Chain A
Amino acid sequence: MGWLVLNGWMGKCLTVNLSTKTLKTLDVDKELLLSFMGGRGLGVKLLWDLVPPSTKPFSEENILVFAVGPLTSTPIPTTGRFSIVSKSPLTGGIFYSSCGGFFGFKLKNVGFDYILVEGRSSTPIYLYIDDKNFELRDASHLWGKTTKETFKILEEDLGKDFSFVCIGPAGENLVRYACVMGGYGNFAGRGGLGAVMGFKRLKAIAVKGTGKPKIADEEGLAKALKNFRDRISWNPVLDKALAYYGTSALVNVINEHRILPTKNFQLNRFEDAENISGETLKEKIFVRRRSCYNCPVGCKRMTKTGSGREGEGPEFETLASLGSMLLIGDVEAVAEINYLCNDLGLDTISFGGTVACAMELSEKGLPDARVKWGDAETVKRLVVDTAYRRGLGRWLAEGSKIFSEKFGFAEASMNVKGLELPMYHPDGVFGQALAYATSNRGACHLNAYLISVEVLGYPYLMDRFSPVNKPSIVVYMQNLAAVMDSMVVCKFLGFEFDEETFANLLTLVTGKTFTQESLITIGERIWNLERVFNFKAGLGWETDRLPSRFKVPLQPMLKEYYRVRGWKPNGYPTKNKLKSLGLNVEDEC
Chain B
Amino acid sequence: MLKVPKEVYEELKDYCLRIARRGYVTAHGGNASIKSGNLMWITRHASSLENLKPEDVIQVSLEKPSSFDVLASLETIVHRQIYLETPNLAVLHAHPPISVALSFFMDEMIPIDTEGYYVLKKVPVVEGQPGSLELAKNVAIALKSYYAVIVRAHGVFAAAKYMDIAYQYLCMVEHSAEILWLTEVLKKSGLTLHKPKKF
Contact = CB atoms under 8 A, between A and B. Distances in A.
Interface in A236-285: 236-237, 240-241, 244-245, 248-253, 256, 277-279
B46 interface: yes
Interface in A331-371: none
Interface string B113-155: 0000000000000000111100000000000000000000000
Contacts of B49: none
Interface stretch (B65-73, B89-97, B101-109, B186-194): B65-73
B82 to A, nearest CB: 17
Contact of A459 (B46, B47, B48, B130): B46
Given A240-B65, A457-B46, A253 B71 contact: yes
Interface string A437-463: 000000000000000000111111100
B71 A245 contact: no
A484 B67 CA distance: 27
Across the A-B interface, give the 3 residue pairs with the lowest CB-CB distance, nearest first: A457-B46, A241-B70, A256-B1
Contact of B45 (A245, A250, A457): A457
Determine chain A's interface SS by DSSP, over half rule.
helix
A278 B67 contact: yes
Contacts of A377: none
B70 A240 contact: yes
B33 interface: no
Contacts of B176: none
B43 to A, nearest CB: 11
B67 A236 contact: no
Contact of B65 (A237, A244, A256, A277): A244
A113 B137 CA distance: 47
Interface centre among B46, B47, B132, by most chain A C-beta atoms within 10 angstroms, is B46
Contacts of A252: 1, 66-68
Contacts of A240: 65, 69-70
B44 interface: yes
A312 B45 CA distance: 31
A236 to B, nearest CB: 6
B70 A456 contact: yes
7 contacts: A230-B129, A234-B131, A234-B132, A236-B69, A252-B68, A457-B47, A461-B47
Determine chain B's interface SS by DSSP, over half rule.
loop
A504 to B, nearest CB: 20
Nearest to A233: B132
A464 to B, nearest CB: 10
B17 interface: no
A279 B47 contact: no
Contact of A279 (B66, B74, B76): B66
B161 interface: no
Contact of A457 (B1, B44, B65, B68): B44
A284 to B, nearest CB: 15
Contact of B46 (A249, A256, A278, A461): A461
Contacts of A234: 74, 129-132
A253 B129 contact: no
B129 to A, nearest CB: 5
Contacts of A241: 67, 69-70
Given A240-B70, A253-B68, 20 more contacts: A230-B129, A234-B132, A235-B131, A236-B45, A236-B69, A236-B72, A237-B70, A245-B67, A249-B67, A251-B67, A252-B1, A252-B66, A253-B70, A256-B1, A278-B67, A279-B67, A455-B71, A456-B45, A456-B71, A460-B46
Interface centre among B71, B74, B76, by most chain A C-beta atoms within 10 angstroms, is B71
A460 B65 CA distance: 23
B60 to A, nearest CB: 11
A236 B44 contact: no
A168 B129 CA distance: 47
A253 B28 CA distance: 21
B68 A236 contact: no
Contacts of B129: 230, 234
Contacts of A245: 67
A252 B58 CA distance: 13
A443 to B, nearest CB: 24
A249 B131 contact: no
A430 B130 CA distance: 31
Contacts of A458: 45-46
A237 B73 CA distance: 11
Nearest to A462: B46
B131 A236 contact: yes
Contacts of B76: 236
B33 to A, nearest CB: 15
A16 to B, nearest CB: 43
A5 to B, nearest CB: 37
